[in-house]
Structure 1
Amino acid sequence: MVESIGDSLDRALESAFTRRPPQSAQAQMKYLVKQLKGTRAVAQALGISQRTVERYVKGQLKRPRQDLRGRMEREVKKRWQPQVRAKAKQKAASTDGLIVSTRARFGFTAAPGTTDDARIRDITQALPPQFADRLFTAKEHGATEQQLQQIAAEGLAQMYFRANNTRAHGLGVEFTDVEHIDIEL
Structure 2
Amino acid sequence: MGKLFDGLRKAVHAKLTPEQAAIPKTVKGQASALLREEKKRGEAGAVKRVAERLGIKPDSVYRYLSGKRKNPPKHIAQKLENEVRASAKPRLQKKVIQEAKNAPVRMSARAKIGYSNSASGRTTPDGRMRNIAETLPPAYATPLWQALEDGDEQEAMRIIRKYLQTEYIQEGGGNNAYTEINFTDIDRMDFNI
TM-score (norm 2): 0.66
For residues 127 and 86 of structure 1, the distance between their equivalents in structure 2, rounded to whole angstroms, comes to 20
* CA distance in 2 between partners of 1:142 and 1:86 (Å): 13
- Note closer, same or farther for the CA distance 1:78–1:88 as it changes in structure 2 (3 Å cut): same
Cα distance, 1:20 vs. partner?
2.4
Q: Are the equivalent residues in 1 in contact too, given 2:116–2:180 (CA < 8 A)? A: yes
**1:44 is aligned to 2:44:** no
What is the 5 A alignment of 1:105-184?
105-109=113-117, 112=119, 114=120, 117-118=123-124, 119-120=127-128, 121-143=130-152, 145=154, 147-165=155-173, 167-168=174-175, 170-184=177-191
3-state SS, counterpart of residue 66 of structure 1: coil
| Gap regions ≥5 residues in structure 2 | 52-57
The question of whether the paired residues in 2 share the 8 Å contact of 1:99 and 1:184 is answered with: yes
Partner residue, 1:10:
9
C-alpha spacing 1:178/1:44, structure 2 compared with 1 (3 Å): closer
Secondary structure of the corresponding residue to residue 177 of structure 2 = coil
Q: CA deviation at 1:75?
A: 3.4
> CA contact under 8 A between 2:7 and 2:189: conserved in structure 1?
yes
Amino acid corresponding to residue 46 of structure 1 in structure 2? V
Measured against aligned partners, the alpha-carbon deviations of 1:108-152 in whole angstroms (never above 9, x if no partner) come to 426x4x56543534321111122222233334445354x443321
Which position in structure 1 is the counterpart of 2:72?
A: 66
C-alpha displacement of 1:72: 4.2
Query: Matched residues, percent identical?
Result: 18
> Is 2:92 aligned against 1:88?
no
Determine the C-alpha separation between the residues in 2 that align with 1:107 and 1:30.
45
Runs of 4+ in structure 1 over 6 Å off = none
Report how many aligned residue pairs link the two structures: 174
- C-alpha contact (below 8 Å) 1:92/1:98 kept by paired residues: no
What's the TM-score once normalised by structure 1's chain length? 0.68
Q: 3-state SS of the aligned residue for 1:126?
A: strand
1-structure distance, mates of 2:134, 2:12: 18
Over the aligned positions, Cα root-mean-square deviation in angstroms equals 3.6
Which segment is superposed worse, 67-76 or 96-105?
Answer: 67-76
Match for residue 28 of structure 1? 30
- The reply on whether 1:76 has 2:84 as its aligned counterpart is yes
CA separation of 1:69 and 1:154: change in aligned 2, threshold 3 A: closer
